[in-house]
């Protein structure tokens, strides 16, 4: 499994992914490694994250890079549609005997064949500087989905959605939301073994080329996040915080 996170900031977009690959039926014994590269820079303005059957995703990513080198597209929307065209064409070729969309209940219980799961989170900027987040997923035949609420997740999403619904604010800076993206992945990894390994991070600014952060920089962010987590935990137990809350509610603070 995996976890992909894309966040829109006030001054750019951050894209982050774990690097754990799991092999086998998750209901039984599985193998894993932490060397998967799920974050890809497609053009100077656009990055894509890949979840699901990574080997197929990597083939599609290579094909899209070759296409973009030929047609010269660099902006978010044209790159998205180049990716969508490539992956849909390949899936229709490779899995022609399997319908793209199957009845959900029958698919979940194994009554009908399904195509291998594959999903992309795509982020970048259009020519006018507008930030864009999109998702493509095999279960929807890679129909383009626009993300307008500021964050996109794919993979093991339940913890990430909880944290982002509590902590995400779209007007925060790229630096703040880079820390949040890393935090969401490492916190999920602490609770679910299907997520883990080094966190890969790409930052996208309107007037600069996409940047893959170095492992050292990501490690520094993780260390800073550990301090944030301790402050958050300690603040919950500080008596002056409790007293402030009680005062705000019109109650008499409990003396220390």
Question: DSSP readout, 231-252?
Answer: HHHHHHH-HHHHHHHHHHTTPP
Q: Determine the average pLDDT of the residues in 67-73.
A: 95
Mean pLDDT taken over the chain: 91
Domains and CATH numbers, the chain: 3-213 (3.60.20.10), 215-256 (no CATH)
Structure token pair of residue 42: 């497609």
Check pLDDT > 70 for residue 151.
yes
Check pLDDT > 80 for residue 103.
yes
3-state secondary structure 87-118: HHHHHHHHCCCCCCCCCHHHHHCCCCCCCCCE
Burial class (CB within 10 angstroms; exposed 0-12, middle 13-18, buried 19+) of 240: exposed
Whole-angstrom distance, CA of residue 155 vs CA of residue 3 = 5
Partners of 123 in beta bridges: 47, 133
Whole-angstrom distance, CA of residue 173 vs CA of residue 158 = 24
Check pLDDT > 50 for residue 211.
yes
Whole-angstrom distance, CA of residue 194 vs CA of residue 61 = 23
Whole-angstrom distance, CA of residue 146 vs CA of residue 114 = 25
Structure token pair of residue 119: 């999903």
| pTM for this model (two decimals) | 0.89
For the stretch 156-195, pLDDT in tens is 999 999 999 999 999 999 999 999 999 999 999 999 988 9
Whole-angstrom distance, CA of residue 192 vs CA of residue 231 = 23
Whole-angstrom distance, CA of residue 190 vs CA of residue 120 = 24
């Amino acid at each position: 499994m995996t976890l992909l996170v894309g966040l829109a900031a006030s001054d750019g977009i951050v894209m982050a992914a774990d690097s754990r690959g799991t092999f086998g039926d998750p209901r039984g014994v599985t193998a894993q490694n932490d060397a998967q590269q799920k974050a890809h820079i497609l053009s100077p303005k656009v990055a894509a994250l890949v979840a699901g059957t990574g080997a197929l995703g990597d083939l599609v990513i290579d094909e899209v890079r070759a296409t973009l080198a030929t047609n010269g597209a660099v902006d978010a929307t044209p790159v998205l549609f180049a990716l969508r065209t490539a992956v849909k064409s390949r899936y229709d070729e490779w899995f022609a005997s399997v319908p793209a969309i199957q009845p959900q209940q029958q698919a979940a219980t194994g009554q009908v064949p399904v195509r291998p799961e594959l999903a992309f989170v795509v982020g970048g900027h259009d020519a006018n500087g507008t930030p864009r987040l999109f998702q493509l997923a095999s279960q929807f035949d890679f129909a383009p989905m626009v993300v307008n609420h500021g964050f996109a997740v794919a993979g093991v999403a339940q913890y990430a959605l909880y944290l982002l619904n509590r902590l995400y604010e779209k007007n925060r800076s790229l630096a703040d939301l880079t820390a949040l993206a890393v935090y969401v992945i490492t916190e999920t990894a602490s609770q679910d073994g299907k997520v883990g390994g080094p966190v890969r991070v790409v930052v996208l600014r309107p007037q600069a080329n996409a940047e893959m952060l170095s492992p050292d920089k990501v490690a520094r962010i993780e260390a800073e996040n550990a301090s944030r987590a301790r402050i958050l935990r300690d603040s919950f137990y500080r008596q002056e915080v409790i007293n402030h809350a009680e005062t705000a509610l019109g109650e008499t603070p409990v003396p220390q």
